[in-house]
Amino acid sequence: MKVLIAPNAFKGTLSAKEAGAIIDIKLQENYPETKSQIHPIADGGDGTCQLLGEYLQLKPIQVLSLNAVGRPINGMFFQDGNKCLIDVSNVSGLGNLPPNELDIGLASSFGTGILIREAISKGCQEIVLGLGGSATIDLGIGILQALGVQFLDKNGREIPPFSPEFLFKIKHVQRSPKTPPVRFTFLCDVKNQFFGNVGAIPVFGPQKGLNKSEIPSYESQCNWLVDLMYRKANQTFEDLPGFGAAGGIAAGLSAFFETKIETGARYFFEKTGIEEKVNGSDWIITGEGRYDSQSKSGKACFELLKLARTHQKKILLITSGDVSVEEGFDEIIKLPDLNFNQANLKNRAKLNLENAIAEIDLKQKRR
């Protein structure tokens, strides 16, 4: 029996690679006759470009940068000819900040802009950005500042990155003639637009430190800023699916650069050649921390389910989410919910995953 082990990251606990290794070890104990392949997957979420760079055997380039609130941090990107792969979460991510440092009025994507600027200096002309896990809602203005676009206050003075409430201080935009001629490909794991009831500010803002009472004023200011930037660029703004990812980075950068938005999972699957492995397997085992209503919007496990159905392969999902076999999976193994305040969180997640493997029945008939 040939088994493809292809988990996504179990967010907050286990990386996709760690989860894949755990599943493989326990599976071999229970089914020693199986021939397994491990192929961790990603969808534009936190760490996608790092995992993709490792698949492509690219050497990481280290860069000293700044995190989302302006503290020094070691960052990296991967260069593939004239293309580079960068995770926004690498330096501008939530994972780099303790809860008491979350500050949506201060947080900036400028540190990611430093990585992009360094990649451009090394000859990169296409920037692939994984948009998951950011700590910002700044419309990519921090990145734009790093690339030479100036944002000025009411007195015409340039506003430094990481200025408190800097979005509310912006009155003018000045585009530099030295703005580099690069293009961007954005990898998304959500389809949220920037504005609206399911937009970046009401949905993701509270996760990044925004008080719910501040949502109306923040959305009003961002609406004014988008209008300002697109008028400066002589473009018409259209709020596209994916513009809500990573605090509107795609929305802001699309005013001044050539851009395109890709479903992160499909992009990742194509670049890593997973379809051939799916076709050559009898079973696919996948999983993520929580499979929910957003998973059908392009998350890796759902895209893998569609691929398995295309090739008429059996697929098993391991998750703590509320999902049933009506979703299309042949088997679902439920993980117990975790208490994220526990000190031994990762060990508990590992034990839960090991216990889940013991429940797997790969000899069942397909539903």
DSSP single-letter state for residue 216: H
Calpha distance 164→70 (Å, rounded): 11
Q: For residue 89, what are the CA distances in angstroms to 27, 123, 205, 255?
A: 32, 23, 16, 22
Tell the CATH topology of 2-40+273-357.
Answer: Rossmann fold (3.40.50)
Residue range 274-313, pLDDT digits in tens: 999 999 999 999 999 888 767 777 789 999 999 999 999 9
pTM for the full model? 0.92
Calpha distance 142→162 (Å, rounded): 8
Architecture of the structural domain at 48-265 = Alpha-Beta Complex (3.90)
* 2-40+273-357 and 48-265, same CATH topology: no
Residue range 58-84, pLDDT digits in tens: 999 999 999 999 999 999 999 999 999
Which segments of the chain have a pLDDT < 70?
293, 324-326, 340-341, 363-367
Name the region of 209 (left: φ>0; alpha: ψ -120 to 50; beta: rest).
Answer: left
Query: Which pLDDT score, from 0 to 100, does residue 366 have?
Result: 44
- Domains in the chain: boundaries: 2-40+273-357, 48-265
DSSP single-letter state for residue 195: S
